[in-house]
Structure 1
Amino acid sequence: MSIDPQPALLVETRGAVAVITLNRPDSINAINDAIRNGLPAALRQADEDPDIRVILIHGAGPRGFCAGADIKEKRDAETPVAARRRLTRDPWIQAFDRTTKPIIAAIHGACMGGGLEMALACDIRIAAPDAKFSLPETGLGLIPGAGGTQRLPRVIGLGPALDMLLTGDRIDAAEALRLGLVSRLVENVESLLPEALALALKIAARAPLATLYVKEATVKGAGMALADGMALEANLFSLLLSTQDKIEAARAFVEKRAPQFTGE
């Protein structure tokens, strides 16, 4: 197995935001075992940290967010049964689903294969004009293995998703915005991280419990019948009525000042 001369992941704190950097720029941040093992741990640590309210993920270097799986990574030969056991035991991508706090992906350059699947597992995607997106697996005799066939149709719709999945064609940032694959497009690459961080800090400034609950209601509700989703929303809404943050928000409105939320 190849060894990186530097950590594959960097984690730093910017205010109430945990910034996770995919740090393999020489390989366009291709996903190796260090990233597969490190990302779940980094996400869990940020999710459990009471001082962190939002998580931001981006890729180091000028070439892209993430080019997908590192096909140069050496792995011992394994049987199909062993491969299935390894891939289904606890897929690294499911760490995103277990994370209760909002996750933002800041995307530039290549966002391919597993890189796009990682971005799809985030809650918000913001892109630079040079971003390129594709799921090329069928050209390699494979299918996406980290949620591409499941998340992409839920984000952009069945027809456009099948178009991308079956052809492997790349789409640019403007098309990704049109399809709803990304929700924001910045002016240039240089402004991507500052604008993504500003967005993360804006979300982090809002009531923490309300932020957690709106993510829970929206994400879980998307997989429910409408009546069940409405019931979930009503339940979570009722839990917030007596919180200190709700009381503080009302007091701040009357006093014409910014609220000071504590997450209580």
Structure 2
Amino acid sequence: MTDAVITHIEDAVAWITLNRPDALNAINNDTRRMLPDAIDAADANPDVRVMVIRGAGPRAFCAGADIKEFATVDAPAAHRQSRVQRHWIAAFDRAVKPLIASIHGYCLGGGLEIALACDIRIAATDASFGFPETSLGIIPAAGGTQRITRVLGMGVALDLILTGERIDAQHAWSMGLVSRVVEPAALNELTRGIAQKIASRPPLATQFAKEAVHTGAEISLAAGMRQETDLFTHLINTQDRQEAARAFSEKRSPKFTGR
């Protein structure tokens, strides 16, 4: 049996691939088990500085939950408690290293929730996005209702969730859902370039920048400013900050160690 999620590490980048192309990389129980493990392992690996989430095959990043598994469900109370205790999507929130979603083809339902849980979203022009859940009598329940509201605002979020309308990559870019759009043939190259650029930066600086942005989105501006100052102050005495200054003075490429 082929693993539902596979990881390949190259040049400090962990390429984490949703690997069910025949099922449009739909999320099944194996995905829910293996994806958090892959993210946690890459986040703990000192040789990894950036993670990329992508989908196998030519047709989809991820088309959402595997509807075949909807035939049997837990009792409501047990189902809710299991999701509260350890929800598979929480691995994205635990990750301190940057996460990039490299999106092509279908990015629907749970697939869109995976993309929203990443820090940066890059899309191919053939990508399509949407939340079809309400047509199935459910709602996005892997953070979708919460994250898309924070990214796009309440009005746009409700429009997409309640109508289930699909949007293309250009529309997604115009509303700020993705930060870059590229032709499908260039998606891997662009993703690799962005990932390697981030990986070339001092690791603590990128991790603290991510922390400052995410934490600041949940607290007041004044509290966020204090957090930003605290993180900045901590970075002043790091070896990498000092190495960056020396390399600039000596007109050479810096060598960062993450300390």
Find 2:109's aligned residue among 98, 113, 131. 113
Name the % identity: 57
Q: Is 1:213 the equivalent of 2:213? A: no
Aligned residue among 74, 77, 88 for 1:92:
88
Tell me the TM-score normalised to structure 1 length.
0.96
Alignment partners' CA distance in 2, 1:74 and 1:147: 19
Alignment match, 1:222: 217
Tell me which amino acid in the other structure corresponds to 1:101.
K
Offset at residue 78 of structure 1 (A) = 2.7
User: Is the aligned partner of 1:168 residue 2:201?
Assistant: no
TM-superposition CA deviations, 1:207-246 (whole Å, max 9, x none): 1110110000111111110000000000000001111111
How far residue 102 of structure 1 moved from its aligned partner, in angstroms, is: 0.2
Determine whether 1:101 maps to 2:107: no
The counterpart of 1:245, out of the listed 212, 225, 240, is 240
- Give, in angstroms, the shift of residue 75 of structure 1: 6.1
Gaps of 5+ in 1: none
Aligned AA for 1:242? N
Could you tell me which of 54, 58, 72 is aligned with 2:54?
Answer: 58
1:24 CA displacement? 0.1
1:1-264, aligned counterparts within 5 Å?
5-73=1-69, 76-186=72-182, 188-264=183-259
Alignment root-mean-square deviation, CA: 1.0
Residue type at the aligned position of 1:55? M
2:219 is paired with a residue of what secondary structure? coil
Deviations 1:72-119 (A, max 9, x none): 137645322222222222110011000000000000000000000010
Q: 1:224 to 1:77 in 2, by over 3 A?
A: closer
Structure-2-length-normalised TM-score: 0.98
For 1:85 and 1:101, the matched residues in 2 are separated by 28
Structure-1 separation of matches of 2:154 and 2:191 = 28
Bigger shift: residues 122-131 or 251-260: 251-260
d(CA) in 2 for partners of 1:20, 1:75: 29
- TM-aligned CA deviation for residue 198 of structure 1: 1.2
> Residue 61 of structure 1: SS of its match in structure 2?
coil
Letter in 2 for 1:148: G
The letter for the 2-side match of 1:222 is: A
Alpha-carbon distance in 2 for matches of 1:76, 1:117: 22
Alignment deviations for residues 128-166 of structure 1 (CA, whole Å, 9 cap, x no partner): 000000011111111111011100011111111111011
Distance 2:65 2:124 in 1: 22
Give the letter aligned to residue 18 of structure 2: L
Deviation string, structure 1 residues 23-42 (Cα, Å, up to 9, x no partner): 00001000001110111111
Query: What is the number of residues matched between the two proteins?
Result: 259
Query: Match of 2:68, SS?
Result: coil
Paired residue type of 1:100: V
How far did residue 189 of structure 1 move? 1.1
1:241-263 Cα shifts (integer Å, max 9, x gaps)? 11111111111111111111111
